[in-house]
Chain A
């Protein structure tokens, strides 16, 4: 650390971009380094036998963008998870066949998730991919209709055979689960790019003060708050900037007057009841080594009103925020933690969340840091994959 600080000071003396070196102590430095490296190593999902298989990715991509996967033929997965909006939709709450209760989260960087959805009601990406298809307010489709479509559409049928190595089976549920696994295989390929934070983090790791000095001073100050006094990284930890778990942060519980969203508490109930969880027969990992969390998660009273801690990569591009989309801007989101009312936090006595009482300049710095988690503009383009010859 001391060496890095000296190098940074030397760089500044040589006329580098920032005016004042930001000193990070050993704990802050370790915490910063824990947010990388990026990208993370990728490996196939053992619960999905076609994870990483190009033909499955190709099938999943076609399914993802096809509005025929909905009851009215007008809604596709991409209708809410829009590539040009960083796989979100900009609405406070998702709008499919009707308005849903929760905000549309981005689907980038999902391969490394343990739980899926704001309440973690799914423990795998293929089950999570099936959920909105069957929700009457989202895509309002059905297992039977999905199976029928895969069988009847030559472009799907051909790619199914290439991905799964067999003809489309007669069992509708089997076809639907396979289609969901292809959708998962596609979504697993959506990984955000490197950011200026990643460049700073790697420069810090190698003690490269010249490269560190390219990172804006405001972002460095915000980063110091993030890993230090504000304790953001306690929950928004690791390369994904999330611990993958759930928290209650004092956002309102009511979906509409008289109706409460119980969050994680109900998510655990749904998870345990789901035939598509990792303890069930649809998990392709016969060892069930992927099911440790599902086997041991247990609903507690404090889970009521908890929602998944979202990752923060590209966070500046995915407004509005919170599970219900009730916070319009990144600055407001930071201000929420600055001014939150501890009495509104429903917990069993936890003392982690306290109002940070940040100065306006500190809020500016945290926002400046969060903006550096944005990858450079790289519009998604439908790719020509190594597809099977189907057309």
Chain B
């Protein structure tokens, strides 16, 4: 997937809002949406935009398109070109319903990163990813 420039989050809100109007609208400006056949995962950095080598959190909404709803969430981020991830293991707290708060992320290099959301269901786990470009 082609990385999304993080600085273009505001523009992406409009695009995401068009394509995924039902998922993540409540998160507000700066929301990004990762999509898979069964799930949309909307997420908004806090603070936004993401700054290189600064800690941030994510507010996340997981939206099931069909079938079983999510029962849990795992979150990580990787640099595919460098084949490494973060130096930190984020914690995920369920906030009720389809909402989650992810703490402790830090992207320590500029460049192309990929957010990976592992959506757990009663039947297993499904990965939903989105690339972002950190300037």
Asked if A234 contacts B110 (CB within 8 A), the reply is yes
Chain A, range 298-318, C-beta contacts under 8 Å to B: 298, 300, 302-303
Which of the segments A200-208, A240-248, A252-260, A331-339 contacts the partner chain?
A: A240-248
Is A384 close to B, CB under 8 A?
no
Closest to B105 in A: A296
A350 near B88 with CB under 8 A, answer: no
Are A348 and B84 interface neighbours, CB within 8 A?
Answer: yes
Residues of B within 8 A of A352 (CB): 82, 109
Check B88–A234 contact: CB distance below 8 A: no
Are B110 and A237 in contact (CB-based, < 8 A)? yes
Asked if residues A297 and B82 are in contact (CB atoms below 8 Å), the reply is no
Task: Determine whether B2 belongs to the interface, using a CB cutoff of 8 Å to chain A.
Answer: no
A349 partner residues in chain B, CB cutoff 8 A: 83-84
Complex Cα–Cα for A46 and B69 (A): 42
Query: Is A351 interfacial (CB-CB < 8 Å)?
Result: yes
Q: Within the complex, which residue of B82, B84, B88, B91 is in contact with A293, where a contact is CB–CB below 8 Å?
A: B88
Q: Is the CB of A243 within 8 A of B52?
A: yes
Q: Is the CB of A348 within 8 A of B83?
A: yes
Complex: chain B residue closest to A115, CB-CB: B87
**Residues 62-105 of chain B: 1 if any A CB is under 8 Å from the residue's CB, otherwise 0?**
00000000000000000001111001111100000000000110
How many A residues touch the partner, as a band?
A: 20 to 34
Q: Which residues of B contact A (CB under 8 A)?
A: 52-53, 55, 81-84, 87-91, 103-104, 106, 108-111, 135
- Can you report 24 residue pairs joining A to B where beta carbons are below 8 Å apart? A30-B135, A31-B110, A234-B109, A234-B111, A238-B52, A243-B53, A245-B108, A246-B87, A292-B103, A293-B55, A295-B91, A295-B104, A296-B89, A296-B90, A296-B91, A297-B88, A297-B89, A298-B87, A300-B87, A302-B84, A303-B87, A349-B83, A351-B81, A352-B109
A residues adjacent to B (C-beta < 8 A): 30-31, 234-235, 237-238, 243-246, 292-293, 295-298, 300, 302-303, 347-352
Besides A238-B53, A298-B87, 15 more A-B contacts (Cβ < 8 Å) are A234-B109, A243-B53, A245-B108, A292-B103, A292-B104, A296-B88, A296-B106, A297-B88, A298-B88, A298-B89, A302-B84, A303-B87, A349-B83, A350-B83, A352-B82
